[in-house]
Structure formats: structure tokens, C-alpha cells
């Protein structure tokens, strides 16, 4: 175990560690119904995930004609309020998540979550699922403050991945995620990235530009050893 190539690993959350689309889809539909829009099918909500809850809701609204910015902000707040109370109803870890996290911990690897979900939501769902003990840090979409343009410093910006590496000891570090946001953030941070091909990929997994693609979390340790 001493020759494992990485001392720190960062994980995306939605579509990488956790299968969250049902609860996210329910929150989107709650907001859409409040706004007078038609609900989307929960299965199709997988296609809307990526970049965080605000982008997810915006995509759903835009496909039905859009709405004024002020009204959208109120709808987004209603979605967040609903999700805060219902974010672990159907959400579950992907198969092998617990075993892989325990395996990496036994190898002395420090682990962090880097998600575009707000930090409080991420910490709550990880706590509800009893996975929080595995991580030295949880960095959410609102954790790094805002850029000069007022937007949160979240993926695909490299800042949260750079910070995760620092919090995991600043040594050899890799990232695991399922979207172009994750790959771009890892590339910007100068760290290798494994694509979770089983997740909510916004392009074909092998076209996202990762250093490796896995079809199950059970393949992660072997993939990292080959990097």
C-alpha cells in the first residue's frame, strides 16, 4: 500500500459518489410547478445535471420559454428551500462507494469532496448517508467565494480543486468526476482526472478528455494505480 501513487484524492459528488438525480429532479419539478411550468420526467433530469442546481433549473425553464430574471431568482430560492429538506430521500451512494473509500483510507489517502452543490447541502447529504467521516474536507460551489464577475468560484474553475489538493496535504493528487466541468477544473489545477463513466456525463465518457474512464467505482483503485 505504501507505493500507491496518490496521497490525496478529490471526488465530485453528484454522478460520481452519489446517485442524486431523483431528489434533484423532484426539487426542479417542485420549482417548475410553482412557476407554472410543466414538470420534467425524473429520468430526463439526468440530462440537466451539471454545473449546479441553478444551471439545472435554468435549463429546465429555458426549454419552456424562459422567464424574467427576478422571477427566476425567486423560483431558484424556492427550489433550494425544497431541496434542503428533501436531498436524501432517494439519493444513494453508487455501488462500491463505501468499500473504495475505506480502501483508500487504509492506504493513507486523504480525501475531499469538490462539488458545485452548496457546501451545506453536500455536508448534510454526506452526513445523512454516513459517508462524511471519510473526508478531510468538503468544498461546495459556494465555498470559495466569488470571482470578479460575481459568480461563484466553482467548477469548471480550477480553484476548488487546487484548494482540495492543499487541504489533502498538497502532495500527489488526482480527481474523480463525471462531467466536462470536472475535467476542465482538474486540467486547470494540473492534476490527473478519472472520468466516472457510469455517472451523468455531459458527453460520451471517453470524449471528456480524462486520463482514465471507469464504469464502476469498484474499478477506481486499479485505474489510479495505472496513472
- CA–CA separation, 168 vs 138, rounded Å? 11
Q: Show the CA angle centred on residue 133, arms to residues 131 and 136, nearest 5°.
A: 115
Cα distances from 19 to residues 54, 112, 129, 131, 175, in angstroms, run: 18, 18, 12, 14, 18
- CA–CA separation, 123 vs 139, rounded Å? 9
Q: Which three cell numbers stand for residue 195?
A: 472520468
Which residues are designated catalytic? 12
CB 32 within 8 A of CB 66: no
Bond prior to 156 in cis (omega within 30° of 0)? yes
Amino acid at each position: 500500500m505504501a507505493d500507491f501513487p496518490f496521497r490525496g484524492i478529490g471526488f465530485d459528488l453528484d454522478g460520481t459518489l452519489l446517485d442524486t438525480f431523483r431528489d434533484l429532479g423532484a426539487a426542479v419539478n417542485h420549482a417548475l410547478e410553482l412557476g407554472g411550468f410543466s414538470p420534467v420526467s425524473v429520468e430526463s433530469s439526468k440530462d440537466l445535471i451539471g454545473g449546479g442546481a441553478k444551471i439545472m433549473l435554468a435549463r429546465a425553464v429555458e426549454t419552456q420559454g424562459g422567464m424574467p430574471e427576478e422571477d427566476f431568482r425567486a423560483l431558484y430560492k424556492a427550489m433550494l428551500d425544497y431541496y434542503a429538506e428533501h436531498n436524501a430521500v432517494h439519493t444513494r451512494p453508487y455501488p462500491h462507494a463505501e468499500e473504495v473509500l475505506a480502501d483508500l483510507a487504509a492506504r493513507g489517502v486523504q480525501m475531499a469532496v469538490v462539488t458545485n452543490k452548496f457546501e451545506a447541502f453536500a455536508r448534510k447529504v454526506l452526513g445523512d448517508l454516513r459517508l462524511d467521516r471519510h473526508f478531510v474536507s468538503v468544498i461546495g460551489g459556494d465555498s470559495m467565494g466569488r470571482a470578479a464577475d460575481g459568480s461563484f468560484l466553482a467548477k469548471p474553475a480550477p480553484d476548488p480543486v487546487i484548494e482540495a489538493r492543499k487541504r489533502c496535504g498538497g502532495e500527489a493528487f488526482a480527481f474523480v468526476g463525471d462531467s466536462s466541468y470536472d475535467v476542465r477544473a482538474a486540467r486547470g489545477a494540473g492534476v490527473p482526472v478519472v472520468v466516472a463513466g457510469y455517472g451523468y456525463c455531459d458527453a460520451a465518457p471517453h470524449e471528456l478528455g480524462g486520463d482514465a474512464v471507469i464504469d464502476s467505482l469498484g474499478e477506481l483503485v486499479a485505474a489510479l494505480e495505472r496513472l
